Amino acid sequence: MAYVDGFLIPVPRRNRDKYKKMSTQAGKVWMDHGAVAYHECVADDVAYGRVTSFSKGVKLKKGEEVWFSWIVYKSRKDRDRVNRLAMKDPRLAHMMDLKAMPFDGKRMVFGGFRMVVELR
């Protein structure tokens, strides 16, 4: 069964185009190294919860929007291989400077997930 890396990212609306360009470039790198699929989605119908929510998860600030993203791999082992190669890829070098990021990486939420149910 597949493996997934998932992300919640607070992106300032003014940086939407920059983030979209950066994530498109990163997605190509991940796909070139073997990711099965790469997805980037911007919140469209996401309520601010009383206890918890996507917005609270990233400590969303005024003028920002939540992006929900995921990368699919064949397996955890394959994910580890793809990530190692992607992180060394020179096409990502300019993205490694946290100050150059079009979002606050300290508030990004991410993790790896073992897929349990997959219906198509």
pTM of the complete model: 0.92
Q: Does position 116 have pLDDT exceeding 90, yes or no?
A: yes
Half-sphere exposure of 25 (CA within 13 A, CB side): 14
pLDDT tens digits for range 6-51: 999 999 999 999 999 999 999 999 999 999 999 999 999 988 877 8
Nearest partner of 68 among 37, 26, 39, 47, judged by Cα:
39
Per-residue model confidence as pLDDT tens digits over 56-75:
999 999 999 999 999 999 99
Token code pair at residue 95 = 């993205």
> Hey, what are 85's tokens?
């190669």
pLDDT at 23: 95
Q: Please list, in sequence order, all residues whose beta carbon lies within 8 angstroms of the beta carbon of residue 98, skipping any fewer than 6 positions away.
A: 105
Domains of the chain: 3-114 (3.30.70.100)
Of residues 15, 62, 81, the one with CA closest to residue 42: 15
Residue 117 CA to residue 67 CA, distance in Å, equals: 23
The Cα–Cα gap between 30 and 89 comes to 9
Nearest to 14 by CA among 68, 64, 66, 67: 64
